[in-house]
Amino acid sequence: MITFSNLSDNNDSSYWLNLYSDSFPINQRIDFNDLTNIANSNDSVQMLLIQLNSKNVGIIYLVDFDDQAFILYLAIDANMRCNGLGKLTINALKSRFKNGFILESESILVNSDNPKQRNARYRFYTNNGMIDTDLASKDSDDEFHLLTSNKDAGVDLYKKANQILGLDVDVIKYNK
């Protein structure tokens, strides 16, 4: 069974940092110390370990609104992928956040140096029940599809969470 454990309870920051660094391009990362400080100063922001039977299998960084959430970072350990852990994690998140969650997936509609990875990630999310809102977030370096687990977790939740995180993002409608 997938569980989520607060990083501060486990003191396993090296695992979290290593997986974070390996999973996200540098232009998409926020400094680890800044992430930690934001989480430590706001109870709704959580740095979590994803665990299967108490073994670390991934990481997640989210803004928790009790029954809804915005997920900024989600990664399954590369050594454990293709074992259904991603699907189990999405299902566990759906159970935990009954009124939905929203996350970003790198745009498949822009030119990039990693189109296969982007398409695989996007397909993973949509194959696991995530709904494309037909909206994208855009920052100076990239564009992301906004995907939601249900229509209740939409752009307002996304904007509120980014405000808490101190992130400035633009939301745009795109044509497929």
- Please tell me the predicted confidence (pLDDT) of residue 128: 93
Mean pLDDT of the chain: 88
pTM for the model stands at 0.92
Q: Report domain extents, the chain.
A: 2-173
Q: pLDDT for 112-163, tens place per residue?
A: 776 788 888 889 999 999 999 988 888 767 788 899 999 888 889 999 999 9
pLDDT reading at 11 higher than 80? no
62: helix, coil or strand? strand
Phi-psi group of 142: left, alpha or beta (phi > 0 → left; psi -120 to 50 → alpha; rest → beta): beta
Contacts for 36 with CB less than 8 Å, ≥ 6 apart: 13, 47
**Quick one: pLDDT at residue 76?**
92
Q: What is the structure's pLDDT at 176?
A: 58
CATH of 2-173, one of 1.10.287.1770, 3.40.630.30, 1.20.58.2030, 3.40.50.1820: 3.40.630.30
